[in-house]
């Protein structure tokens, strides 16, 4: 039980403090590191909760109560204890699985409907390698889970060639980085456990950070001024799907970051952040092993308990 309490306490601490620690302005200087820390924090909390629930099931006290319940040597309280202990981890994993399956089905259905719509409304531009949809608004987006980038005819008319290259580089960065998977996983955790702060805040943080990552790649390929011009042209355009769009994220923050870029974090800070991320992922398991070893040692050496 001590191990379960320690793991639950650790999960509560990380779930509460991580969103605050990751909200600083430094996140704009290294979106990749920030993304890693967000998802490492979420993974750390999730693993801690699963281990804590599993510890409750495998604790000697619960096992003894299970045996007593099976042979009829316990009352209603004992049976209730067994039921709660066994159901806790099952319900935790079942909730996560159900939300993941429902989300995957919904995204697959949305993608299929959207692709059917594009097959009717879109025309393939072989020069640009995109689908073009007739619309006076300027918009560009990629369809998650495919290799398709969609542009409106308004974007073709409004953007300069260099701006168009920057916009396409941004969308293809989303596809190459498989950013939709990060957003989908964040959505699963947020929908499954909305009361947990780090899970709840992971989705908007991930959605904003993937835009910064795509911006950085587009800048390396096409230039900073060109991407700013493309974003400005898109601000009155509307993406036609729930895909990743060039106008996604906090547009004002993105533009300010492009116009007045801060220096990247120094190497020592990035290495330290990577170490923190690795520690967050490994710590729940190490904590479980350490406390289990201590408990086993105390059980083997009763004199230590005196």
Q: Give the domain ranges of the chain.
A: 2-305
Per residue in 175-234, pLDDT tens? 999 999 999 999 999 999 999 999 999 999 999 999 999 999 999 999 999 999 999 888
Residues 6+ apart with CB under 8 A from 99: 188, 191, 192
Q: What is the pLDDT of residues 77-128, one digit of tens each?
A: 444 544 555 676 788 889 999 999 999 999 999 999 999 999 999 999 999 9
**Euclidean distance between CA atoms 46 and 283, whole angstroms:** 12
**In the numeric block, which tokens belong to residue 229?**
């011009």
pLDDT for res 155 = 93
How far apart CA 188 and CA 183 sit, in angstroms, is: 9
Query: 22-31, 136-145, 208-217, 294-303: lowest mean pLDDT where?
Result: 294-303
CB contact burial 103-138 (16+ within 10 A = b; e otherwise)? beeebeeebeebbeebeeebeeeeeeebbbbebebb
Q: Give the highest mean pLDDT range of 65-69, 216-220, 240-244.
A: 216-220
- CA dist 261 and 138 (Å) reads 26
- Quote the tokens at residue 287: 């904590």
Distance in angstroms (rounded) separating the CA atoms of residues 174 and 244? 7
List, in sequence order, every residue forming a beta bridge with 151; answer none if it has no partner: 132, 140
Tell me which residue of 91, 69, 93, 67 sits closest to 80, measured CA to CA. Answer: 69
Size of the chain in residues: 306
**Does position 240 have pLDDT exceeding 50, yes or no?**
no
Spatial distance between the Cα atoms of 249 and 206, rounded to a whole number of angstroms = 9
Give the 3-state secondary structure percentages of the chain, helix then strand then coil, rounded to 5. 75, 5, 20
Q: How far apart are CA 106 and CA 122, in angstroms?
A: 23
Rounded Cα–Cα distance for residues 92 and 232 (Å): 44
Phi, psi (rounded to 5 degrees) for 300? -80, -25
């Amino acid at each position: 039980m001590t191990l379960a309490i320690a793991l639950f306490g650790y999960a509560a601490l990380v779930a509460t403090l991580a969103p605050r620690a990751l909200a600083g302005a430094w996140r704009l200087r290294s979106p990749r590191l920030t993304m890693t820390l967000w998802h490492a924090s979420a993974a750390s909390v999730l693993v801690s909760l699963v281990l804590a629930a599993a510890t409750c099931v495998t604790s000697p006290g619960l096992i003894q109560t299970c045996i007593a319940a099976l042979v009829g040597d316990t009352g209603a309280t004992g049976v209730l204890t067994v039921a709660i202990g066994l159901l806790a981890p099952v319900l935790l994993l079942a909730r996560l699985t159900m939300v993941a399956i429902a989300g995957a089905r919904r995204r697959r259905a949305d993608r299929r409907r959207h692709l059917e719509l594009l097959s009717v409304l879109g025309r393939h531009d072989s020069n640009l390698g995109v689908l073009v949809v007739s619309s006076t608004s300027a918009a560009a987006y990629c369809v998650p889970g495919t290799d398709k980038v969609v542009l409106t005819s308004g974007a073709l008319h409004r953007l300069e060639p260099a701006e168009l290259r920057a916009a396409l580089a941004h969308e293809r960065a989303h596809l190459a980085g498989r950013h939709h998977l990060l957003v989908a996983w964040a959505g699963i955790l947020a929908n499954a456990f909305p009361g947990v702060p780090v899970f709840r805040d992971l989705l908007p943080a991930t959605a904003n950070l993937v835009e910064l990552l795509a911006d950085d790649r587009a800048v390396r390929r096409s230039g900073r001024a060109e991407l700013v011009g493309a974003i400005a042209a898109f601000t009155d355009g509307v993406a036609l799907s729930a895909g990743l769009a060039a106008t996604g994220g906090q547009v004002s923050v993105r533009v300010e970051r492009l116009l007045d870029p801060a220096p990247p974090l120094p190497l020592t800070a990035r290495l330290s952040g990577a170490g923190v991320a690795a520690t967050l992922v490994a710590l729940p398991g190490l904590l479980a092993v350490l406390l289990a070893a201590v408990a086993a040692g105390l059980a083997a050496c009763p004199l230590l308990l005196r």
